[in-house]
């Protein structure tokens, strides 16, 4: 077990949605030597920048969260960029960590790495049983490459590198840009804007039948912290809540909470994405004692409240 408060910890993507919550969680546990450089300081697609970053901060623990990521629309528009940037950032960071003898490397993968028709619930051993859903395959495959790197470096060099597979996250501070956001913030924004403008209709992609699992961002931060402290094996580990909800049910719930009483129109000319998603979360509980604790509707209401407060105070503009 690693005593994190005694370590120098470098978090990539620390200014992002999950990163901010993780850093807050680390600080609450007594970690006082946590750094989270921004991209304008160190471009992680550039190996020289990575070397300079490691030289400046001398980390003992690396937690790699940084990613080029977005919803279905963003993945369709940027398949090449999402593949290249995610692959090259991770490959160079893990290699630099190996050469510098970093004590612990934690790499965040993605649920998008699973095959399109994975049996539900998704078990970690199913990860290589097929090709990912087409709209986000380049992103998912880029992350999958990093799992192979972590496992092969552990085997050849004895690197203590672990790989976590978080499900769709949501919570306060999420990305609400409709061009790049995921489904929950996109639905919240569409419903709130429709209410404010008096519109009686919103249009959503697909037919509403796909299912998704969601993990509250603070629970995700807890899971990452526990894995960083306690987990030291090559097997990937799912991080999720174990729940499953259709997009149609999700839209109805968000409409009710936000007060949108109009009609939801499903644009079936647009893709649904992966048909179903629900994780087997037993390995995380067995290996490092992680279990999500935030009820979905509680987390959803906190997210909506944060968005309403932020937009009406002008912070989101």
Diameter of the chain measured on Cα atoms: 61
Phi-psi region of 42 (alpha: psi -120 to 50; beta: other; left: phi over 0): beta
Per annotation, catalytic residue among 139, 153, 170, 231: 139
C-beta of residue 134 within 8 angstroms of C-beta of residue 107? no
Active site residue 139: yes
Distance CA 273, CA 134 (A): 8
- Report the first-to-last Cα separation within the chain, whole angstroms: 43
Residues pairing with 122 in the sheet: 279
Q: What is the DSSP string of the chain?
A: ---GGGS-EEEETTTSHHHHHHHHHHHHTT---EE---TTT--TT-HHHHHHHHHHH--SEEEE-------HHHHHH-HHHHHHHHHHHHHHHHHHHHHTT-SEEEEE--GGGSBTTPPSSB-GGGTTSSPBPGGGHHHHHHHHHHHHHHHHHHHHH---EEEEEE-EEE-TT----TTT--HHHHHHHHHHHHHHHT-SEEEEES-S--EE-EEEHHHHHHHHHHHHHH---SS-EEE-----EEHHHHHHHHHHHHT--SEEEEETTS---SS---B--HHHHHHH-----S-HHHHHHHHHHHHHHHHHHTTT-
Which two three-digit tokens encode residue 66? 């940084």
Indicate which residues carry an active-site annotation: 139
């Amino acid at each position: 077990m690693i005593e994190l408060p005694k370590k120098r910890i470098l978090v990539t993507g620390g200014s992002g949605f999950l990163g901010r919550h993780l850093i807050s969680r680390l600080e609450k546990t007594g970690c006082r030597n946590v750094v989270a450089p921004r991209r304008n300081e160190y471009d992680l697609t550039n190996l020289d920048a990575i070397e300079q970053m490691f030289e400046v901060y001398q980390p003992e623990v690396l937690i790699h969260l940084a990613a080029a990521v977005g919803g279905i629309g963003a993945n369709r528009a940027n398949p090449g960029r999402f593949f290249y940037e995610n692959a090259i950032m991770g490959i160079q960071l893990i290699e630099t960590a190996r050469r510098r003898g970093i004590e612990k490397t934690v790499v965040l993968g993605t649920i998008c790495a699973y095959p399109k028709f994975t049996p539900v619930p998704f078990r970690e051993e199913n990860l290589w049983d097929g090709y990912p859903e087409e709209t986000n395959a380049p992103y998912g495959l880029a992350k999958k490459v990093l799992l192979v790197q972590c496992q092969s470096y552990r085997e050849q060099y004895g690197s203590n590198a672990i790989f976590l597979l978080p499900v769709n996250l949501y919570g306060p501070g999420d990305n609400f840009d409709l061009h790049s956001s995921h489904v929950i913030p996109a639905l919240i924004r569409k419903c709130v804007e429709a209410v404010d403008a008096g519109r009686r209709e919103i249009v959503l992609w697909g037919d509403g039948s796909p299912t998704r699992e969601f993990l509250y961002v603070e629970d995700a931060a807890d899971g990452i912290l526990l894995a960083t402290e306690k987990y030291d094996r090559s097997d990937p580990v799912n991080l999720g809540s174990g729940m499953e909800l259709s997009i149609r049910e999700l839209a109805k719930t968000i409409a009710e909470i936000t007060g949108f009483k109009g009609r939801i129109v499903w644009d079936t000319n647009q893709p649904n994405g992966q048909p179903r998603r629900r994780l087997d979360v037993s390995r995380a509980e067995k290996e490092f004692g992680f279990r999500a604790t935030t009820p979905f509707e509680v987390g959803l209401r906190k997210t909506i409240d944060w968005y309403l407060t932020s937009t009406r105070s002008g912070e989101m503009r």
